[in-house]
Structure 1
């Protein structure tokens, strides 16, 4: 039997099982304590370039209701939403991405401070992130990790928009195991996070 077809079939079987067992996001979150947890790794941008003492606050990203959870979202069709039955992120996805952005931008060493609004200095800049996609999609017989985010950089004192940019990528997963799917997300972030960090540090 074709390996990719088997992967797609087994993923859909797992998705169906998860749908039959959970009726709401609240139920999913309650059950998530028993699931395997998968984390993602920050990837700093370039340390070369202009350095400033400017301070940056990274706001918690916003996004559709389906991704405001610690579950790994699957879209078997454009209009259907479910979740991987055996895996979760270590926190709600917006918090995970906020931490990744902070550590990736800070890793460039090109800004004086990068962090959250709690406990930090008065910020010069604020970074807003809208998550448009962060999910597994099924394209033909292939599982694909798709990510799309819109970043907006503001001057904090008057909320003036300084710049905005969209970042997108899609990475095929080699199989249907959670570790392989998370690896596809990480491969995409290995490209996106340095791009995002360099863009923010250069504005």
Structure 2
């Protein structure tokens, strides 16, 4: 049986050790990582219509719903780039890019998030199905893949006007952030422009 003084000492050591571990975890979590963002890509120009569009925050799997850059070496594995992060969580990043891409096309009266603004005529619902690098063993180049699913809903009667998928792929020279981030831009960019044009034609 452990005597009271010795037991107190052991408990103190355990508490101290746990506190140090927790402090170390907090320090690691708060360590600033290099931060990256992507840029919107406007669709083609055209006549402006007095349509109000809101873009809802996209749905996404848990592995994608983070500000870390997702690495999937195989369909069942999840990892993240240790030395880089996105400027915001991927669903919010995609929402912002889609809003700005559609708005910069200049073909709708108002484009914004569902958090504010006028009552919408149409809502754009999005789902992020892929937003990741997919390295292949033995290869320096790293494939990058993005995939969005979009549906346009008329607000007055909740009718689905149209649905479409937008997928893209690119190849990064390496797994360094300086190579991966432009590959994400190249994979996503054409889809943003195509989505903006599709929305303008459909609403």
Aligning the two structures, in what range does the TM-score lie when normalised by the shorter sequence?
0.7 to 0.9
- Contact 1:32/1:71 (<8 A) preserved: no
Distance 1:32 1:44 in 2: 35
Q: What is the TM-score when the length of structure 2 is the normalising length? A: 0.82
Residues 47 and 32 of structure 1: is their aligned pair in 2 closer, same or farther, counting only changes over 3 Å? farther
Q: Which runs of 5+ in 1 are unaligned?
A: 1-26
CA distance in 1, matches of 2:165, 2:68: 24
Residues 71 and 134 of structure 2 are in contact (CA less than 8 Å); yes or no, is this contact kept in structure 1?
yes
Aligned partner of 2:177 in structure 1 is 178
SS for the counterpart of 1:53 is: strand
The residue aligned with 1:199 is 198
Q: Provide the C-alpha distance between the structure 2 equivalents of 1:80 and 1:97, rounded to a whole number of angstroms.
A: 23
Q: Is the 8 A contact 1:152 1:163 kept in 2?
A: yes
C-alpha displacement of 1:102:
0.3
1:119 deviation in Å?
A: 2.5
**Deviation per CA, 1:12-45, whole angstroms, max 9, x where unpaired?**
xxxxxxxxxxxxxxx79x7265110001000110
Task: Describe the superposition over 1:112-137 as per-residue Cα deviations: whole angstroms up to 9, x where unpaired.
Answer: 00001222011000000011100000
Q: Following the alignment from structure 1 to structure 2, what is the Cα–Cα distance between the partners of residues 78 and 197?
A: 30
Q: How does 1:12-161 map to 2 (within 5 A)?
A: 31=29, 33-48=31-46, 50-139=47-136, 141=139, 142-161=141-160
Please report the TM-score for the alignment, with normalisation by the length of structure 1. Answer: 0.82
- Could you tell me how far 1:78 is from its partner in structure 2? 1.2
Residue deviations 1:133-175, cap 9 Å, x none?
0000023523111001100000012211000000111101012
Change (3 A) 1:40 1:33: farther
CA contact (8 A) 2:167 2:188 kept: no
Over the aligned positions, Cα root-mean-square deviation in angstroms equals: 1.6
Instruction: Find the residue that maps to 2:108 and give its secondary structure.
Output: coil
Task: Choose between structure 1 and 2 for higher RCO, CA contacts under 8 A separated by at least 6 residues.
Answer: 1
CA contact (8 A) 2:125 2:152 kept: yes
Tell me, in whole angstroms, the C-alpha distance in 1 between the residues paired with 2:93 and 2:160: 25
Q: In 1, Cα distance between the equivalents of 2:153 and 2:136?
A: 36
Query: Structure 1 residues 32, 192: CA separation in 2 closer, same or farther (over 3 Å shift)?
Result: farther
Aligned length: 175
Tell me if structure 2 keeps the 8 A contact 1:32–1:88.
no
